[in-house]
Structure 1
Amino acid sequence: MKRKALALLSGGLDSTLAVKVMLEQGIEVEALNFTSPFCTCTSKNAGCKSEAVRVAEEFGIPIKVMNKGLEYLEVVRNPKHGYGKAINPCIDCRIFLLRKAKEYMVESGADFVITGEVLGQRPMSQRRDTLRIIEQESGLEGLLLRPLSAKHFKVTIAETEGWVDRDKLLAIQGRGRKEQMELAEELDVTNYPCPAGGCMLTEVSFAPKVRDIFDHSDELQMRDFRLLKLGRHFRLGARTKLLVGRNDAENTALTTQMLPGEATVRWIEGGSPLGVVMGEVTPEILDTAGKIVLRYTRAESGAPCAVKIERGEEEEFLAITNTFSEPEIERFRV
């Protein structure tokens, strides 16, 4: 009887190799890919999701793409095992993903789960002790196989039952990628533009933006996190942010995310970035938003300017004086 593995596939080098190693042993594989507002990738395409789909198509295996959703945002807000250097809950994230994989095993008919994890590669989530915690708390003890580092761990059910030949598994460890690249050449795995993958939650400069949402939201909204990759962000009130586009593409993207009652702000003379006021809108907030937007134009300092405000089908023009200095703007910047 042919056995089936459910693979967590990011499209990066390690997870791709893990799948390939299983396929070489005659194991049927289905891929599971997770997306979130925090995904990043060095790929020139649409990011890690497209890389995972590309790999699945190249290997001829089915793939299911899941959004981590609002449940995951709560994990980020209150991680049991804490954060890394930024706001990255790496241990809790892996547990979350593997729990979802365990739930999907029943639907997919898989016998066990595989990942591309490598012992010692990542300082927080791939230490021996944390890998053990992840396996235990995900409920996948004995059912979680890490083909690239399998010989450093206890034998899994897939190995004891003879579904997988342990002698053909690997003993890779550490942060280098030399062994993976050699294995990729041996297995004829090419075109892996995202060897390390990435998550914006690991970036120290990105963390304040995420914390700002947590600090000012009674109920988390996926939109707020998707927008973190766009524009300049300013906190104007407990329930109000101003996002200022940095180019036409961002201006367009910001307007597509607006909700009823929210407003755009733009200087009507010359080239001007677009400001989008999201959340509660008041005359005082619009005045502040206008002054911030004007700071990114060629409007004369100290001069009164005509600023156009649009809210749905309604528009108005406000006379706003360009008085904000850079330090005044920084008071609002997230």
Structure 2
Amino acid sequence: MKRKALALLSGGLDSTLAVKVMLEQGIEVEALNFTSPFCTCTGKNAGCKSEAIRVAEEFGIPIKVMHKGVDYLEVVRAPRHGYGKGMNPCVDCRIFLLRKAKEYMAESGADFVITGEVLGQRPMSQRRDTLRVIERESGLEGLLLRPLSAKHFEPTRPEREGWVDREKLLAIQGRSRKEQMQLAEDLDVKNYPCPAGGCLLTEVSFVSKVRDVFDHSDQLNLRDFRLLKVARHFRVGPRTKVLIGRNEAENELLSHHVQPGEAAIRWLDGSSPLGVLMGTVDDVLLETAAKVLLRYTKAEPGSDCRIKVTVDGSEQMLTVSHTFSETCIEQYRV
């Protein structure tokens, strides 16, 4: 009986090789890819999702793309196993993904799950002890196979029952990618991406933006986190933030994310970026946001400036004095 594996496929070298190793053994494979608002990839046709789809097409295997939803945001807010150097809940994140994979196993008809994890490669989530925790808490004990490091662990059920040949699995360990690159050459795996990029939650400079959303939100939504990667962010009220585009592409993107009751603002008498007030909108907050916006125009300091305000398709004009210094601006910057 031919067995089927469900593979967590990011599109990176390790997960690509794990899939290839299984295919070489005649195992049927279906890929599962997860998207995140915290991925460093940008652009509609760039990054992890497109790489995973490219790999799946090249290998001729089906792929399902799942979006990490609001339940994932709750994991980020309060991870049971703590954070890494930033706000990255790496252990809880792996448990979350593998639980989703376990739920999907029945639908896909898979017998076991494979990942590209390598013992010792990542300091938080790929230590021997944390790998055991991840396997146990995901509910996949005995059914989680890590082909690239399999010989460093006790045989899984697929190995014990002869679904896969343990002798053809690997014993890669550590942070060097030399063995993976040699394996890629041996298995004729080409055009794999460099081992760069990753998760914005590991970047300390990004953490303040994430914490700001958690600290000032009555209800979490993915939009607020997706927009953290674009525009300039300013907290002008407990439940209000103004985003100001840095270029025309960001202005266009922001214009599509204005929700009912929120305000879009522009300086009327010259070239102006788009500003969007997210959350509560009132006259005082509008004036503050407009003064922040004027910092990014060529309006004459100290002058009275006309600001166009658009809310739910209705336009009005607001006159605001351009009085904010750089010091004033910085007190609002997230």
2:123 aligned partner, one-letter code: P
Structure 1: runs of 5 or more not aligned: none
Q: CA deviation at 1:305?
A: 1.1
Please show how residues 88-99 of structure 1 align to structure 2 within 5 Å: 88-99=88-99
Q: CA deviation at 1:157?
A: 0.5
Output one character per residue of 1:276-332: Cα deviation in whole Å (capped at 9) or x when no partner.
Answer: 011111111111011100001111111111111111221111111111111111111
Alpha-carbon separation, structure 1, partners of 2:120 and 2:106: 31
Output one character per residue of 1:178-207: Cα deviation in whole Å (capped at 9) or x when no partner.
Answer: 111111111111111253450111111111
Match in the other structure for 1:332? 332
Q: What RMSD, in angstroms, separates the aligned Cα atoms of the two structures?
A: 1.3
Alpha-carbon separation, structure 2, partners of 1:217 and 1:44: 27
Output one character per residue of 1:70-116: Cα deviation in whole Å (capped at 9) or x when no partner.
Answer: 11111111100010111100000000000111111111111110000
Q: How many residues align?
A: 334
Match in the other structure for 1:294? 294
Contact 1:42–1:197 at 8 Å: present in 2 too? no
Q: CA deviation at 1:167?
A: 0.9
1:262–1:104 Cα change, 3 Å: same
Q: Report sequence identity in percent.
A: 76
Please show how residues 160-179 of structure 1 align to structure 2 within 5 Å: 160-179=160-179
Match in the other structure for 1:310? 310
Residue 212 of structure 1 pairs with residue 202 of structure 2: no
1:4 aligned partner, one-letter code: K
1:325–1:88 Cα change, 3 Å: same
Once structures 1 and 2 are overlaid, which stretch shifts more, 20-29 or 303-312? 303-312
Once structures 1 and 2 are overlaid, which stretch shifts more, 122-131 or 194-203? 194-203
Alpha-carbon separation, structure 2, partners of 1:42 and 1:113: 28
Alpha-carbon separation, structure 2, partners of 1:285 and 1:302: 19
1:21–1:109 Cα change, 3 Å: same
- 3-state DSSP of counterpart to 2:205: coil
Match in the other structure for 1:39? 39
Contact 1:124–1:130 at 8 Å: present in 2 too? yes
Contact 1:43–1:194 at 8 Å: present in 2 too? no
Match in the other structure for 1:6? 6
TM-score, normalisation: structure 2: 0.98
Structure 2: runs of 5 or more not aligned: none
Match in the other structure for 1:77? 77
Residue 200 of structure 1 pairs with residue 207 of structure 2: no
Contact 1:263–1:276 at 8 Å: present in 2 too? yes
1:312 aligned partner, one-letter code: D
Contact 1:48–1:197 at 8 Å: present in 2 too? no
- 3-state DSSP of counterpart to 1:94: helix
TM-score, normalisation: structure 1: 0.98
1:260–1:290 Cα change, 3 Å: same
1:226 aligned partner, one-letter code: R
